[in-house]
A and B are shown apart, each in its own frame.
Chain A
Amino acid sequence: MSGPERGATGLLSGESAAGAEARPPAAERGRGRAGATALARRRARAGALFIAPNLAAVAVFLLFPLGFSLYLSFHSWDLFSAPRFVGMDNYRRLFTADPLFYIALRNTAVFTVLTLVPTVVISLAIAALLNRKLAGIAVFRTIAFLPLVASTVAMAVVFRFIFASDDGLLNRMLGWIGLGPVPWLTDPDWALVSLSLVTVWKSVPFATVILLAAMQGVPENLYEAAQIDGAGAFRRFRSITVPLIRGALSFVFVITIINSVQAFDQAYALTGSNGGPETGTYVLGIMLFQNAFRFYEVGYASALAWVIFAILLVLTLIQLRLSRRAEADL
Chain B
Amino acid sequence: MRRTPGRRVLNGALIYLAVIAVAWCALLPILWAVSASLKSEGELLDATPLPAHPQWSNYADVFDAIPLGRMLLNTVIYAGCVTAGQVFFCSLAGYAFARLRFPGREALFLAYLATLMVPLTVTVIPQFLLMRALGWMDTPWSMIVPGLFGSAFGTYLMRQFFQTLPTELEEAATLDGCTPWQIYWRVLLPHARPAVMVLAVLTWITVWNDFLWPLIMIQRNEYATATLGLIRLQGQYSTNWPLLMSAAILLLLPLLLLYALAQRSFVKGIAMSGLGGR
A contact residues vs B (CB 8 Å cutoff) = 39-40, 42-48, 50-51, 53-58, 60-66, 68-69, 72, 79, 126, 129-130, 132, 134, 137, 140-155, 157-162, 164, 167, 169, 172, 201, 205-206, 209-210, 212-213, 251, 258-259, 262, 264-265, 268-269, 284-285, 288-289, 292-293, 298, 301-302, 305-306, 308-309, 312-313, 316
Q: Out of B33, B96, B216, which one reaches A161, CB within 8 Å?
A: B33
Q: Out of B32, B255, B274, which one reaches A162, CB within 8 Å?
A: B32
B192 contacts the other chain (CB 8 A): no
Query: What residues on A are CB-neighbors of B90 within 8 Å?
Result: 54
Residue contact B115 to A62, C-beta cutoff 8 Å = yes
Closest to A61 in B: B146
Tell me the dominant secondary structure on chain A's binding face. helix
Question: Quick one: given A42-B180, A56-B149, A58-B112, are A65 and B227 in contact (CB under 8 Å)?
Answer: no
Closest to B242 in A: A161
B5 contacts the other chain (CB 8 A): no
Query: What residues on A are CB-neighbors of B274 within 8 Å?
Result: 210, 251
**Minimum Cβ distance to chain A for residue B224 (Å):** 13
Question: Quick one: given A145-B267, A152-B211, are A50 and B230 in contact (CB under 8 Å)?
Answer: no
Residue contact B155 to A153, C-beta cutoff 8 Å = no
Query: What residues on A are CB-neighbors of B179 within 8 Å?
Result: 42, 46
Question: In the complex, A316 Cα to B116 Cα: how many Å?
Answer: 13
Residue contact A305 to B125, C-beta cutoff 8 Å = yes
Tell me the dominant secondary structure on chain B's binding face. helix
Question: In the complex, A206 Cα to B270 Cα: how many Å?
Answer: 8
Sorting the interface of chain B by its residue count into under 10, 10 to 19, 20 to 34 or 35 or more gives: 35 or more
Q: Out of A50, A142, A209, which one reaches B270, CB within 8 Å?
A: A209
Closest to A145 in B: B267
Residue contact A44 to B146, C-beta cutoff 8 Å = no
Closest to B181 in A: A46
Stretch in B50-58, B59-67, B97-105 touching the partner = B97-105
Residue contact B47 to A47, C-beta cutoff 8 Å = no
**Minimum Cβ distance to chain A for residue B175 (Å):** 9
B136 contacts the other chain (CB 8 A): no
Question: In the complex, A162 Cα to B230 Cα: how many Å?
Answer: 17
Residue contact A54 to B89, C-beta cutoff 8 Å = yes
Query: What residues on A are CB-neighbors of B211 within 8 Å?
Result: 151-153, 264-265, 268-269
Query: What residues on A are CB-neighbors of B45 within 8 Å?
Result: 167
Residue contact A137 to B19, C-beta cutoff 8 Å = yes
B38 contacts the other chain (CB 8 A): no
Residue contact A50 to B95, C-beta cutoff 8 Å = yes
Residue contact B126 to A65, C-beta cutoff 8 Å = yes
Query: What residues on B are CB-neighbors of A293 within 8 Å?
Result: 128, 216
Question: In the complex, A316 Cα to B114 Cα: how many Å?
Answer: 14
Query: What residues on A are CB-neighbors of B180 within 8 Å?
Result: 42-43, 46-47, 50
